[in-house]
Structure 1
Amino acid sequence: MHITLVNMPWASIDFPSLALGILKRRVTDAFPDSRVDVVHANLDYLDWITERAGLTRDEYTFCWDSYFTGYSEWIFSSALYDDPRWRNDEFADLVAGVVPGDMLAKGRHLHALAPEYVDSLVGRILADRPDVVGFSTTFAQNSAVLAAARLIKKAAPEVRVVLGGGNCDGPQGAALHRGFPFVDYVNRGEGEVSFTRLLTCLRDASSPADIPGLCWRDADGTAHANAMSAAPLPASALVTPDYTDYFEQHAASRAGAMAEPHLVVESSRGCWWGQKHHCTFCGLNGSFMEFRSKSPDRFVDELLAMTERYRVLNVAVADNILDMAYLRSVVPRLAEAECDLRVSYEIKSNMRREQLASLVAAGIHYVQPGIESLSGRVLKLMDKGVTGCQNVRMLRDAESVSLGVVWNYLFGFPDETEEDYESVIDQFPSLHHLAPPNGVTRIAIERFSPYFNRPELGFGDLRPAAHYAVIYDLPEAELRDMAYVFDAAHRGISATQAERLEKAIETWRHEFPRGRLTQCDLTDSVVLTNTRPGFAWRTLRIEEPWETAAFRLLDQPCTDDVLLKKLRAGGHDVDAEDVADLLSRWRTRGLLFEDGGQTVHVVPYAANQDLMRWVTHGGPALVPALRHGPADRSPEAAATTALRCWRERDEETRARDGIFMGEEPYEDTAVRSVAELVARGTRHVALPEPVVLGRGGSGGDRRAVRGLTHVRELTGRGLSVDWDLDLGGEIGAWRLFSHLYPPRSVAGPDGDAVLEQWRTTFHMNKCGYRRGVGFVEVTDLRHGAQRRVLMRKVNKEKLAALLDGAPASDFRPRETEAFLTSGLVHRVGSLLWWLPSRITRWPVVG
């Protein structure tokens, strides 16, 4: 049997299909003599359409993200109904003011070309003579899947067409099967077992009447929908996906130059919070909310084995929520692994700072914590189980530990009031240094959510979202069963207040790259640094013992009464008026967030957060909010042969007592010594001497490499550094060093021009490496286009030697030539030196 599995647009080009990866593994195991192919038509379409209409990464992402407007599905409706102008005007009227004019024009062009693409794709699929073609359809894939299914059945009636995925759950799958007779089977629910059972029935020509959840037709063409399984699959039944086809196709596609590929893994299914308190707006998990997670050892072994097999270190975990027991099992094991992962995970927003820090140590650098709102009252309406102050604490603590946060601000809940938003919006300027929402969204009513299932919650009159009637030629009753998104009368705040919220968050996103508020706790006092444009002060020292105690107590949300009680219990002779006056002063300075009678301070620990903020300027090029002051003239800057270290990179704050940490040995083993500096809280370092290339002699070469190594290691750790560079006769080779933190000065011809360009184009992680299991990955953006290099059989000892500079005589001439040609190793006189920084932190894009 030959089975072809297809992933249609608009699936993301960055990620393989978890569903199809799992099915390939299951079918391969169950039918070892069968041929199983996976066609990533999303990648194929990107290549095909770029040649004919041009399609940038941003445009593809817009299509992928526009599911709730119907834009992405409408594009392929022309192929479904074989009409290049299918309902053009009706759709344009529907999305006027929602879809930008340039994207509507692009959409019309893609819409007109869609029939040609689907015809081309189907011809290539059928040329391999499959017996079964299976489609996964989730969110915006539906019309493209149906269009391809229609043509397959028209051209090759003997081929069995099977649909599965999120769009096929419950009544949706039955409606798809009824409404489109060219679909032979629809698999509803988890497909690992039922799909292989269907294949057995097809092989043996037996009846599928007892396969749970399956929609099928009998010999007379009558549609049947088997009852769905009453219980979800246990965690032990979840298999490791096979992504071989995806990574091969991605490497050969235009997507390879547009996006780094990611692994998609799952450690659990369902939602443990949703089992107890289903968030009122959430339609995820469909028929199966029950939480199941893999054993910790199995998940870690599976994850590391997949990174080794596919040579990929970027990982997206598909779970709805992190299993909290993993904090004591999975997280420590990943932290101990010599594997520099970049993992994204969904978590609950009430996690503490030490827990977040453990995630970062394990390589979990991005989280989606389901923040949704900063109003405790609105969060209660959602049944989120957290408060506004806890969500702000999450944002603050994530900033302290360099954890990226992805979130959206939702509004439009029944019983929310204007006052629920007034106080929060007024406090946004105090939060401009914390990760802003990606956007602002009025909630949509999703199938399977409590708002859909329980009209008494406020949305009684539901209709399929208007775009379905423009995309599909089906009766309204069928659309109602097939739809996932529903329209209802708007609830909650007024349009005026919603506009104010949107503008306030737009301002937040604009100010975030240059807004900074940090603390350095010196035990007997706390020094704060502020650069947020909305507040005029720059530095502040909190040194009264009771005030420092109050500040530390406000690390956790606290009422005024409880704060006063704890201060008195700590031996501080203060009264309610003292506390009220202090909170008033701190509120004026933007140090606090208040909601629901509680207060929490909003000041992260200093971690050079601003160096990790990138701003998009008219395209994919990312430029940091980077400030450079004059050379340090502090008293500590006298002649020295040691590194000088500070707790804070801000020049004005560095002049404060207690911020200078003293001197540290300027050793040749910079890789180790810099790690120790970071662990002690160092945030800014000054080198004791210029880095001079071409000085000659082994001593001069070693001194130059020592300086370069310190700068490389400091840069990779996200520290700022004062240093001066003399490129000597290599002034034209400055781009090789342009991934290093920019120096204060560059000596040599055109040195000032080089320095200006260096500062303008610098961003963190411009050229860096990460360790994998059995390989090293290098990403290089120094010359514009991204270059990804995999060193599959890297010799650990040689790399370790190159990190601190190794004699060229230690390597064979052919090795030396290969090193230098790669642009990843530079020759400094008699020494060879490794250029890329090890990537330990990841940016937040504002």
Structure 2
Amino acid sequence: MSYLSEGKLADFIEEKIKELIGKGNILIVVPPFYDIRSLALGPYVLQAVAKQKGYKVDVLHLDLLLAAIIGVKDYQQVHDSPDFWMLGERVFARIAYDLPALGKASESAEDPFWAISDTPNAVLSVAPEESIPQEKLLKIEEVCYQLMRHAARVIGQFQYEVIGVSLGFCNQINATVAFINQVKQHLPQCTTIIGGSYCEGEKAKGLFSLSKHIDYVFEGESEGTFVQFLSDVFEKTPPTEKLIKATEAVALEKMPLADYTAYEKQVRVMLGDTFYEKNIFAVWYETNRGCWWAEKAKCSFCGIAEIGFRQKSIEQIRTDLKEIRRQVPGKLVFFTDLIMSQEFPKKMLEYRDDMDEIPVMGMQMRVARNIEEVANLREIKAKFILPGVESFSTKLLKKLKKGTTGKQNIYFLRNTRSFGIFTQYFLLWGLPDDEHQDYQQLLDLIPLIIHLQPPRTFVGMRIGRDSPYFDQPAKHNIENLRYWEVYKDIFPSYTDWESIANYYIGDYKNYAHYNLPLIQELDRAVTHWKNTWQNAKLHMEVLGGQCVIYDFRQVPGIGTAIHPITYAQAQEIMLYKIYKPSPTLDWALKNKLGILMDGWFVPLVTAAPELLVKFDQEAKSNTSQNSISHYQSYKIT
């Protein structure tokens, strides 16, 4: 590992920054360690909003610049490290507060019993993590130190009147403070501001305790308050209150579209054309705000503060999507929405004639309950889905207030696999009042669903600020709620830790943390699932006038199997329904082609989308179509 010498580093930083900024009198910075594989949408929306009122805002990605210096691999290794290591905060602790390099007790950063709390509940993962040697981290820390010094010096040459930082996540706080402290040395007269999704509630107030150079913090939605703030500052009547709160909900319909080509230029200049083409496969777009499900029953672990739900019209969304496709052709458009509105797919389908002009989409959503809903997703080109799965235990899902069940989650994954829709979800362990059966059920289930998309990760539950676990701990049998100990290692002694902290731990009864061997066995099973699912197969094909099920899952006791069946048998096996004993269903259960859960038969066999739709429609109309000759052999891709 070799980085640029200080002299060459200073020249490199100056060259890149001067190529990208200097046209406006307002600057918004994206600090490390934001995920360089995705767009930070907020600064570009503010840029567009300000432009409507005649203000010129420059955006600068210090996250991309750091990645260009230390390399994408090293940057991502820090970014992807476990949250409680707080490496993104540690490498900026010295430049931000004159703390020791890597903060205090850096040698214990990877120990959850030190960094979180000395309690069994502190274990959040049983998967082996790749350590980053202290020597390497110290070299990265030195680069971070010099980056802030030289970036502030170069920016100081442009005489910006307002300089803001977009603070979206943990692991960006110390970089934010370090940058503001440094830039004030070169531009003491400039007004410094912080905004972003981390600036909610008490956390927004807590930021002021970190530096006297933070002039203002924007709490919550800031598109409206930002423009008014600029007007006040440039008219020499700045606000007297340092915490700028949203006065009213922003009208999304009137929100201008971000300049995606400006983001593209930043990536190409900092990391090159190849990185942009191969690593930036999606950009962000916002269709709604709030969470309509949280207005009914907020998920127990959800720490998102915003609840009130509103959305753009379908006409506006279609217009925006077409423009995004024109600006950045070939890129997936992923919605920033906390949850997709239930009626969105059907409303989009009212304009199905121009779907060719719409880019491929990705979105967060509740688990779809039936074939029709999944079919609609495919038809509107929603090919990447983040569903709220979290567990296959109906009991735990009820405790989490997910509004779904174990059987619905499995049925949904069967359907998305059949329709070629990519899903990304998590499975949680270590929940209050969990039991052995919750995990044994999953261990028994994995070999049967190994052909379906696996979770992104199997991870211990964390308590986040603003979640029901945080706001109502007694209701969930949680005692002694306290912030993670690591905050004392990465922030100075004068910090308002109670306000700034985002992650907490409490004492509560649970099975998983006291029976880690079973959780470790499950983690190995999930890892095997992730490594093999794309080659596993449990699929029905139509060959001539017969249905054939190919089972290549290698389920213990079954191995490889090929089952020729009649159309009537296929109809019965492929439907999700209340279980009533029958020779066909009992045969399917014996051969692990479906499972019983909560009194329902849940089919596990995938098939061509058209065939699943046909079975579903026939079941609804109680008709049986014996002719299937027009179906061709269908392969999963």
TM category (shorter chain) comes to: 0.7 to 0.9
State whether residues 465 and 487 of structure 1, in contact with CA within 8 Å, keep that contact through their aligned partners in structure 2: yes
- Among candidates 93, 96, 101, match of residue 77 of structure 1: 93
Partners of 2:192 and 2:414 lie apart in 1 by 50
- The verdict on how the C-alpha distance between 1:111 and 1:604 changes in structure 2, with shifts beyond 3 A counting, is same
- Among candidates 473, 478, 490, match of residue 459 of structure 1: 478
Deviation of residue 541 (structure 1)?
Answer: 2.1
- Among candidates 260, 263, 269, match of residue 243 of structure 1: 260
- Among candidates 138, 141, 145, match of residue 115 of structure 1: 145
Structure with the larger RCO, 1 or 2 (CA within 8 Å, 6+ apart): 2
Partners of 1:382 and 1:587 lie apart in 2 by 29
- The verdict on how the C-alpha distance between 1:489 and 1:187 changes in structure 2, with shifts beyond 3 A counting, is same
Question: Superposition pairs for residues 138-177 of structure 1, below 5 Å?
Answer: 138-139=168-169, 140-177=171-208
Deviation of residue 231 (structure 1)?
Answer: 5.1
User: 2:223 maps to what in 1?
Assistant: 192
User: Which AA in structure 2 matches 1:254?
Assistant: L
Please say which structure displays the higher CA radius of gyration: 1
- The verdict on how the C-alpha distance between 1:531 and 1:332 changes in structure 2, with shifts beyond 3 A counting, is farther
User: 2:130 maps to what in 1?
Assistant: 100
Question: Superposition pairs for residues 229-308 of structure 1, below 5 Å?
Answer: 229=246, 232-254=249-271, 256-258=273-275, 259-284=279-304, 286=305, 288-308=306-326
User: 1:759 maps to what in 2?
Assistant: none
| TM-score, reference length from structure 1 | 0.64
Residue 59 of structure 2: SS of its match in structure 1?
Answer: strand
- The verdict on how the C-alpha distance between 1:363 and 1:606 changes in structure 2, with shifts beyond 3 A counting, is closer
Partners of 1:659 and 1:46 lie apart in 2 by 59
Deviation of residue 85 (structure 1)?
Answer: 1.9
Residue 34 of structure 2: SS of its match in structure 1?
Answer: coil
- Among candidates 20, 25, 28, match of residue 43 of structure 2: 20
Partners of 1:659 and 1:72 lie apart in 2 by 61
State whether residues 607 and 683 of structure 1, in contact with CA within 8 Å, keep that contact through their aligned partners in structure 2: no
User: 1:474 maps to what in 2?
Assistant: 493
1:131 matched to 2:146? no
Question: Superposition pairs for residues 632-671 of structure 1, below 5 Å?
Answer: none
Residues 470-518 of structure 1, C-alpha deviations (whole Å, 9 max, x = no match): 1111357x11111111122365223233223212211211221321111
User: 2:386 maps to what in 1?
Assistant: 368
Partners of 2:387 and 2:50 lie apart in 1 by 35
State whether residues 4 and 133 of structure 1, in contact with CA within 8 Å, keep that contact through their aligned partners in structure 2: yes
Which stretches in structure 2 are left out of the alignment for 5+ residues? Answer: 1-23, 113-127, 611-625
- Among candidates 40, 58, 69, match of residue 48 of structure 1: 69
User: Which AA in structure 1 matches 2:361?
Assistant: V
Question: Superposition pairs for residues 721-760 of structure 1, below 5 Å?
Answer: none
Deviation of residue 65 (structure 1)?
Answer: 5.9
Partners of 1:460 and 1:282 lie apart in 2 by 18
1:430 matched to 2:448? yes
State whether residues 429 and 590 of structure 1, in contact with CA within 8 Å, keep that contact through their aligned partners in structure 2: no
- The verdict on how the C-alpha distance between 1:70 and 1:335 changes in structure 2, with shifts beyond 3 A counting, is farther
User: Which AA in structure 2 matches 1:592?
Assistant: G
User: Which AA in structure 2 matches 1:127?
Assistant: Q
- The verdict on how the C-alpha distance between 1:230 and 1:381 changes in structure 2, with shifts beyond 3 A counting, is farther
Partners of 1:360 and 1:104 lie apart in 2 by 47
Partners of 2:586 and 2:95 lie apart in 1 by 62
Partners of 1:523 and 1:324 lie apart in 2 by 39
Residues 41-70 of structure 1, C-alpha deviations (whole Å, 9 max, x = no match): 1111111223xxxx427x516515644542
Give the superposed CA RMSD: 2.8
- The verdict on how the C-alpha distance between 1:229 and 1:20 changes in structure 2, with shifts beyond 3 A counting, is closer
1:533 matched to 2:554? yes
1:330 matched to 2:362? no
Deviation of residue 459 (structure 1)?
Answer: 2.5
Residue 527 of structure 1: SS of its match in structure 2?
Answer: strand
Partners of 2:265 and 2:188 lie apart in 1 by 30
State whether residues 269 and 320 of structure 1, in contact with CA within 8 Å, keep that contact through their aligned partners in structure 2: yes
Residue 361 of structure 2: SS of its match in structure 1?
Answer: strand
Which stretches in structure 1 are left out of the alignment for 5+ residues? Answer: 210-214, 217-224, 565-575, 609-657, 663-679, 685-717, 719-842
- The verdict on how the C-alpha distance between 1:63 and 1:491 changes in structure 2, with shifts beyond 3 A counting, is farther
User: 2:566 maps to what in 1?
Assistant: 543
Residues 364-422 of structure 1, C-alpha deviations (whole Å, 9 max, x = no match): 21100111111111100100011101000110000111000001111221122111221
State whether residues 136 and 163 of structure 1, in contact with CA within 8 Å, keep that contact through their aligned partners in structure 2: yes
Partners of 1:338 and 1:550 lie apart in 2 by 36
Residues 770-799 of structure 1, C-alpha deviations (whole Å, 9 max, x = no match): xxxxxxxxxxxxxxxxxxxxxxxxxxxxxx
Residues 143-197 of structure 1, C-alpha deviations (whole Å, 9 max, x = no match): 1111101111123211111000111111111110133211000000101011111
1:202 matched to 2:233? yes
User: Which AA in structure 2 matches 1:409?
Assistant: L
Partners of 2:256 and 2:567 lie apart in 1 by 59
Residue 167 of structure 1: SS of its match in structure 2?
Answer: coil
User: Which AA in structure 2 matches 1:109?
Assistant: K
User: 1:631 maps to what in 2?
Assistant: none
User: 1:601 maps to what in 2?
Assistant: 603
Moved more, 188-197 or 94-103: 94-103
User: 2:428 maps to what in 1?
Assistant: 410
Deviation of residue 13 (structure 1)?
Answer: 1.9
Moved more, 491-500 or 245-254: 491-500
Residue 486 of structure 2: SS of its match in structure 1?
Answer: helix
- Among candidates 340, 352, 359, match of residue 377 of structure 2: 359
Residues 181-226 of structure 1, C-alpha deviations (whole Å, 9 max, x = no match): 11000000101011111111211222524xxxxx51xxxxxxxx46
User: 2:76 maps to what in 1?
Assistant: 60
Residue 56 of structure 1: SS of its match in structure 2?
Answer: helix
User: Which AA in structure 1 matches 2:333?
Assistant: V
Residues 244-268 of structure 1, C-alpha deviations (whole Å, 9 max, x = no match): 4311121223254231353210110
Question: Superposition pairs for residues 762-777 of structure 1, below 5 Å?
Answer: none
Partners of 1:387 and 1:304 lie apart in 2 by 36
Residue 280 of structure 2: SS of its match in structure 1?
Answer: coil
1:2 matched to 2:25? yes
Partners of 2:565 and 2:78 lie apart in 1 by 47
Residue 533 of structure 1: SS of its match in structure 2?
Answer: strand
User: 1:348 maps to what in 2?
Assistant: 366
Residues 284-324 of structure 1, C-alpha deviations (whole Å, 9 max, x = no match): 2x1x3011110000011011112213335321110111112
| TM-score, reference length from structure 2 | 0.84
User: 2:613 maps to what in 1?
Assistant: none
Partners of 1:105 and 1:392 lie apart in 2 by 45
State whether residues 425 and 504 of structure 1, in contact with CA within 8 Å, keep that contact through their aligned partners in structure 2: yes
User: Which AA in structure 2 matches 1:118?
Assistant: M
- The verdict on how the C-alpha distance between 1:493 and 1:69 changes in structure 2, with shifts beyond 3 A counting, is farther
Question: Superposition pairs for residues 518-529 of structure 1, below 5 Å?
Answer: 518-520=539-541, 526-529=547-550
- The verdict on how the C-alpha distance between 1:248 and 1:331 changes in structure 2, with shifts beyond 3 A counting, is farther
Deviation of residue 326 (structure 1)?
Answer: 1.5
Partners of 1:25 and 1:414 lie apart in 2 by 45
- The verdict on how the C-alpha distance between 1:60 and 1:392 changes in structure 2, with shifts beyond 3 A counting, is same
Deviation of residue 335 (structure 1)?
Answer: 6.5
State whether residues 48 and 117 of structure 1, in contact with CA within 8 Å, keep that contact through their aligned partners in structure 2: no
- The verdict on how the C-alpha distance between 1:197 and 1:91 changes in structure 2, with shifts beyond 3 A counting, is same
Partners of 2:107 and 2:454 lie apart in 1 by 32
User: Which AA in structure 2 matches 1:308?
Assistant: R
Partners of 2:598 and 2:353 lie apart in 1 by 37
Deviation of residue 606 (structure 1)?
Answer: 4.4
